[in-house]
């Protein structure tokens, strides 16, 4: 008697797959952007140029086959200085988040501390400490309008 190859496999019904919470993808995206900022800061400290690339799958118009296209991306720093004293803002989308009410900037001090502060932020994101900002991004008002003026315009 011969045994079939398939009989050696354990066959079961399809298990129910639970969806991951959407905040996990947002965490990973913020962590990737923070790591990119860390590389940007490290290159600034070392005096080397920073180059980032983006990839996109596009359809070749001639052959119709899908190919990955890669191009150089512009990365703007989330940190800035005033008289060699550095500050860092964490951004979700294009807006800086307020880690405390009315305080969006982190006082870094010396530029050599930038990678260390970014590492602290990455660990905070991994632990879920910034989830409230990822779930509901900051509310914005149309450019040039204060919240009071926006209410008056609706009236």
Dist. CA 52–CA 143, nearest whole Å: 30
What's this model's pTM, rounded to 2 decimal places? 0.72
Give the pLDDT confidence of 65-114 residue by residue, as tens digits.
Answer: 998 999 899 999 999 999 889 999 999 988 899 988 989 999 999 999 99
φ/ψ of 26, rounded to 5, equals -70, -35
Percentages of the chain per state (helix, strand, coil), in multiples of 5 = 35, 25, 40
Q: What is the pLDDT of residue 61?
A: 86
Q: What is the pLDDT of residue 151?
A: 54
Dihedral of CA atoms 22, 25, 30, 35 in degrees, nearest 10, equals 160
Question: H/E element holding 86?
Answer: strand 85-89
Q: What is the pLDDT of residue 141?
A: 46
Dist. CA 43–CA 141, nearest whole Å: 35
Considering only residues 150 and 32, tell me which one the structure prediction assigns the higher pLDDT.
32
Q: Three-class SS of residue 50? A: coil
Q: How confident is the model at residue 147 (pLDDT cuts 50, 70, 90)?
A: low
* Measured CA angle at 85 (ends 79, 91), to 5 deg: 20
């Amino acid at each position: 008697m011969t045994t079939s190859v398939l009989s050696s496999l354990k066959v079961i019904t399809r298990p129910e797959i639970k969806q991951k919470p959407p905040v996990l993808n947002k965490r990973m995206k913020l962590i990737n952007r923070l790591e990119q900022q860390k590389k940007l800061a490290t290159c600034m400290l070392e005096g080397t140029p920073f180059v980032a690339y983006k990839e996109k799958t596009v359809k070749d118009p001639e052959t119709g086959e899908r190919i990955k296209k890669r191009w150089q991306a512009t990365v703007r720093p989330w940190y800035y200085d005033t008289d060699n004293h550095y500050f860092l803002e964490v951004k979700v989308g294009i807006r800086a988040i307020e880690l405390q009410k009315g305080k969006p900037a982190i006082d870094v001090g010396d530029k050599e501390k930038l990678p260390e502060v970014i590492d602290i932020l990455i660990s905070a994101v991994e632990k879920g400490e910034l989830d409230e900002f990822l779930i509901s991004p900051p509310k914005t008002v149309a450019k040039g309008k204060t919240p009071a003026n926006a209410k008056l315009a609706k009236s």
